[in-house]
Chains A and B, each alone.
Chain A
Amino acid sequence: EVQLVESGGGLVQPGGSLRLSCAASGFTFSSYEMNWVRQAPGKGLEWVSHISSSGSPIYYADSVKGRFTISRDNAKNSLYLQMNSLRAEDTAVYYCARRTYAGNSRTFDYWGQGTLVTVSS
């Protein structure tokens, strides 16, 4: 069974840093591209970052470029998101999601349960 379990969320002051982790199991992690997607309280979904199966290439949403860093450790079946210079508008539940290519679409076929990041003084 595919499982994605996020951790590392919490309350942080504006300008602070936080590192999120996503532990993957039930599939060959090193074969899949992975992403972070966030959801502000009561709002919709926003793609944040992508990392290929090997670790490169990497892409970021304009809203987090230069502040967030995605990485992975295939030996540990883990995905990470280092978040620096956090702002109030970064407050959200952060999901890790597996990328799959099916038919004529890229999809996010499995998601974790999310971890809440709250940026507030």
Chain B
Amino acid sequence: DIQMTQSPSSLSASVGDRVTITCRASQTLSSYLNWYQQKPGKGPKLLIYAASSLQSGVPSRFSGSGSGTDFTLTISSLQPEDFATYYCQQSYINPDTFGQGTKLEIK
């Protein structure tokens, strides 16, 4: 299975900050990489698909980039509702696998 490694595992930031989360794959994925946001007690929400495409309804402060093995999720100006856990997911090779998550906390 493809291993997905996110960094950092946790991150403290303030409202208005620019934040970047990194996801690295154990082998190349082309651009078959998605990002999700999960809040406590809820199912994940799709934010970014195909590495850089914004899912409908997701605010434009979220962006994704990368290809091959290295990908990033950037939040340009943190809002209070963005404090959550973020996961990357590869869909290049079965089975789909997820990163371990990055918990974004309020500083």
Q: Which of the four size classes fits the interface of chain B?
A: 20 to 34
- Considering the complex, which residues of chain A in the window 64-121 have a beta carbon less than 8 Å from any beta carbon of chain B? 95, 97, 102-114
Let me know if B44 and A45 touch, CB within 8 A. Answer: yes
CB distance from B58 to the nearest CB of A (A): 11
- Considering the complex, which residues of chain A in the window 50-67 have a beta carbon less than 8 Å from any beta carbon of chain B? 59, 61
Residues of A within 8 A of B87 (CB): 44-45
**Cα–Cα, bound, A47→B95 (Å):** 7
**Cα–Cα, bound, A110→B96 (Å):** 16
Q: Which of the four size classes fits the interface of chain A?
A: 20 to 34
- The one of B36, B49, B100, B101 in contact with A105, judged by C-beta atoms closer than 8 angstroms, is B49
Let me know if A113 and B43 touch, CB within 8 A. Answer: yes
- For the A-B complex, the count of residue pairs with Cβ-Cβ distances under 8 Å equals 68
- Considering the complex, which residues of chain A in the window 1-33 have a beta carbon less than 8 Å from any beta carbon of chain B? 4
Let me know if A103 and B43 touch, CB within 8 A. Answer: no
Let me know if A107 and B101 touch, CB within 8 A. Answer: no
Query: What residue of chain A has the Cβ atom nearest to residue B101's Cβ?
Result: A44
- Contacts A104-B32, A107-B34: A114 and B43 contacting too (C-beta < 8 A)? yes
Let me know if A106 and B96 touch, CB within 8 A. Answer: yes
User: Nearest 8 pairs between A and B by C-beta?
Assistant: A111-B43, A103-B50, A106-B91, A45-B98, A105-B50, A104-B50, A44-B100, A47-B96
A–B complex contacts, Cβ < 8 Å, 20 sampled: A44-B98, A45-B44, A45-B87, A45-B98, A45-B101, A46-B98, A47-B95, A95-B43, A95-B44, A103-B31, A104-B51, A105-B32, A105-B34, A106-B91, A107-B55, A108-B34, A108-B44, A109-B55, A111-B44, A112-B43
- Chain B positions near chain A (C-beta within 8 angstroms): 30-34, 36, 41-46, 49-51, 53, 55, 87, 89, 91, 94-101
